[in-house]
Structure 1
């Protein structure tokens, strides 16, 4: 399956669910308490992280998508801390405040990278707030592409049917991260994302792939869903849709450190990609890649767009080497996100010689990444005449991609690379030759947005044309 990074900046997602504040107190322990046989921890570091539905929203924002978050908090310091953290991450918080129940808070005391104890501060939220949540959702639904219900069975989603009906009326797909064994409460949703244990808790143990798919199809029909995405840990994830063949996405993680928050990563990436216009297959593939990243980290973590983009680039084979226009632009987005300076040069490079190698090395030294655009065969023929190129474009690209100085090789079929330049917008445009900067094709465009234009010299006595003439003279 071909993966493309979506335009997450064009996506808007609404998340509704149970909000939590995850607190971590870290410190060393070197003695046992005289009061009881327990270790004494000297707290030296305190850390707060959004949890539950708040972590889903944080993941969406980290991808660069717009996100609004609806949920319940207490009128307390923990609720204020949660809202402050989320607002600083560009999450639009639309919280309902309870005077009776506290903000759900989980305090973990950590020492030497181990959790010694977890203290939970929570009371189940009453169903009285359902009307308030629906009112908040009604105001936001017209401007979102996908709605997520993130259910941790803490009382926020006491009436999911009302929210699903609102979204369907607005034409907004509903993705649900379910909880418990009563999936009937999510009837009419677009897609559920249970893990295998949750799925088998509803349909019974599945002894084979065929049985899993058959039971999923039955559940889809029974609950009037469009699809189920069953996440299966080291076995990847399986997408099942009504009257279609299942699609299995194998696990991609090379090393698993912590599965905490992986479900949040899956649904947030899936929703963001769908809201950005990606089809369900491709969006699920991206969610699977994102999950492979997050399980390689310790604790609950958000996946950034550059992290996901780098992994997508590896899938496309676009970290270095021969690329298409589309692959090049994806790779450049990642390079720029890392603060790298982009250099661009172009030419025919028909027969590679020492002059080319020295020139490309010098060009690469002008920045951090070198894009080499070469004329395709028809373009070379128009410029150089009959009998050229000696080497077809695919061979030229392969040889050039093997040079240490070259990051990406792309071809173009026009006489000049101006179309590519307008897409790439390099920081530095380099051209080899003995003419002035004013003669560099595309130089005026690059200078117009503040880019640099440089002319470098080839090594003396190195010329493809001279090499060809010398060979021909010996015939």
Structure 2
């Protein structure tokens, strides 16, 4: 599947749910307490991070998208710390204050990169503590591209149906990170993202892939969901949609240090990508890639936009470049298995100029993958004369493979690409220049199996021959 960086700067996402403060005390240990057989930690650093729905909002902001959060906190220092940290990240916060319950706080004592103890300060919130959520959401929803209900079973999300209905009124998709075994609370949501343990707690054990698909489909129909994404740890993710084949994405993490907050990252990238206009399968693939990065970090963490961009470039780089015919056929089989349209063009491409660059960009826009086939040195000599090519085939291929619009480059020894066309069978054959369709070499081959033939114009005043002649005149 071809991935690209979404326009996260165009996204606005609203997060509603349980916010908490993750507090870390870091320090060294050099002795055992005389009072009890426990280590003494000399605290040298205090670190506060927003957790729960707060971490979801931070993930959204770190991607470069706009984030707003509605939640409930106590009238205390921890609540103020949360508001301060989220506000510093550019997140719009709208907190309802509980007068009789504390801000949910999880205190972890860390020494030598080991967690020694965790202490939780919390009381479950009542319906009155979140009574204003729907009204607050209705004010923000017209500006949003997606809504996340981040449920940590702390009591903030008492009336999920009111939030879902409010979002539906303005056609904003609702993504839910569920908790507990009562998924009926999320009826009518656009997408649920349970992990496998949460999913099986509701539908029962899934011993086989077919069980997961069958039970997931039944759950979607029962709850009137548009999609269901089951996250499966080391087994990746499975996306289910009514009347469509399941999409399974394998886990990509090479090293796993801490899975804390990985679910937050998944739903944050999903919602931000959807709000940016991405289709659901690509949004899921981006979320899967982001999860592989965040689990390699310690503690509740976020993934930044530049990190995700680099990961996408690395991912795509492993699938692009100069290839042999055998390698290309394997890559094409995988591309078509993901429903991608293959576009093909060919030429000598001796000296790459602006006309070539613009032409290849326009050609790539006609599909999902662009194959550029170039004549070998011997083939160019036969076509252009003994003085050509100026650049040998390996250099010409290297330059072409470096263009963003080009996926794969392959060379051919024949005078025409007809043998390659028979082998590759591209969905679209493109030629640049002043031709009619029936003058394009190989057009009969492509038309015979139902493909398209397109003719595009080169940029004006751009010609390799003209460039070569001008250089020679300079001499």
Aligned to 2:237: 237
Aligned to 1:278: 278
Aligned to 1:180: 180
Deviation at 1:5, TM superposition (A): 0.9
Pair 1:193-2:173 in alignment: no
Aligned pairs for 1:117-132 within 5 A: 117-132=117-132
Deviation at 1:464, TM superposition (A): 11
Pair 1:62-2:42 in alignment: no
State how far apart, in whole Å, the 2-side matches of 1:243 and 1:49 are: 41
Contact 2:73 2:104 in 1 (8 A): yes
Aligned to 1:83: 83
Aligned to 2:72: 72
Pair 1:414-2:394 in alignment: no
Contact 1:313 1:319 in 2 (8 A): no
State how far apart, in whole Å, the 1-side matches of 2:194 and 2:124 are: 22
Aligned pairs for 1:392-411 within 5 A: 396-400=395-399
**Deviation by residue 1:268-324 (Cα, 9 ceiling, x = unmatched):** 0000000000010111110011011111111111101111011111222289968xx
Gaps of 5+ in 2: 323-347, 361-382, 407-431, 433-457, 463-467
State how far apart, in whole Å, the 2-side matches of 1:215 and 1:392 are: 59
Contact 1:126 1:155 in 2 (8 A): yes
State how far apart, in whole Å, the 2-side matches of 1:11 and 1:164 are: 19
Deviation at 1:150, TM superposition (A): 0.2
Aligned to 2:113: 113
**Deviation by residue 1:307-345 (Cα, 9 ceiling, x = unmatched):** 1011111222289968xxxxxxxxxxxxxxxxxxxxxxx
Aligned to 2:53: 53
Pair 1:309-2:309 in alignment: yes
Aligned to 1:152: 152
Q: Secondary structure at the match of 2:3?
A: coil
The worse-fitting range, judged by mean Cα deviation, of 298-307 and 195-204 is 298-307
Contact 1:6 1:273 in 2 (8 A): yes
Deviation at 1:250, TM superposition (A): 0.8
State how far apart, in whole Å, the 1-side matches of 2:220 and 2:43 are: 49
State how far apart, in whole Å, the 2-side matches of 1:118 and 1:108 are: 4
Aligned pairs for 1:223-372 within 5 A: 223-317=223-317, 350=350
Aligned to 2:40: 40
Against the structure 1 CA distance between its residues 183 and 320, is the aligned structure 2 distance closer, same or farther, given a 3 Å change threshold? closer
Contact 2:72 2:130 in 1 (8 A): no
Aligned to 2:435: none
Contact 2:96 2:130 in 1 (8 A): no
State how far apart, in whole Å, the 2-side matches of 1:230 and 1:171 are: 24
Aligned to 2:414: none
Pair 1:211-2:256 in alignment: no
Against the structure 1 CA distance between its residues 198 and 394, is the aligned structure 2 distance closer, same or farther, given a 3 Å change threshold? farther
Against the structure 1 CA distance between its residues 192 and 320, is the aligned structure 2 distance closer, same or farther, given a 3 Å change threshold? closer
Deviation at 1:128, TM superposition (A): 0.6
Deviation at 1:395, TM superposition (A): 5.8
State how far apart, in whole Å, the 2-side matches of 1:392 and 1:212 are: 55
Deviation at 1:390, TM superposition (A): 2.8
The worse-fitting range, judged by mean Cα deviation, of 69-78 and 313-322 is 313-322
TM-score scaled to structure 1, two decimals?
0.72
State how far apart, in whole Å, the 2-side matches of 1:128 and 1:72 are: 10
Aligned to 1:31: 31
Deviation at 1:211, TM superposition (A): 0.8
Pair 1:12-2:12 in alignment: yes
Aligned pairs for 1:410-449 within 5 A: 413-415=458-460
Against the structure 1 CA distance between its residues 120 and 214, is the aligned structure 2 distance closer, same or farther, given a 3 Å change threshold? same
Against the structure 1 CA distance between its residues 111 and 226, is the aligned structure 2 distance closer, same or farther, given a 3 Å change threshold? same
Contact 2:354 2:459 in 1 (8 A): no
Deviation at 1:130, TM superposition (A): 3.4
Contact 2:13 2:65 in 1 (8 A): yes
Contact 1:400 1:409 in 2 (8 A): no
Contact 2:71 2:130 in 1 (8 A): no
Deviation at 1:125, TM superposition (A): 0.8
Deviation at 1:376, TM superposition (A): 3.3
Q: Secondary structure at the match of 1:311?
A: helix
Contact 1:8 1:273 in 2 (8 A): yes
State how far apart, in whole Å, the 2-side matches of 1:66 and 1:218 are: 35
Against the structure 1 CA distance between its residues 95 and 185, is the aligned structure 2 distance closer, same or farther, given a 3 Å change threshold? same
State how far apart, in whole Å, the 1-side matches of 2:205 and 2:353 are: 56
TM-score scaled to structure 2, two decimals?
0.72
Deviation at 1:414, TM superposition (A): 2.3
Aligned to 1:358: none
The count of aligned residue pairs is 370
State how far apart, in whole Å, the 2-side matches of 1:15 and 1:192 are: 15
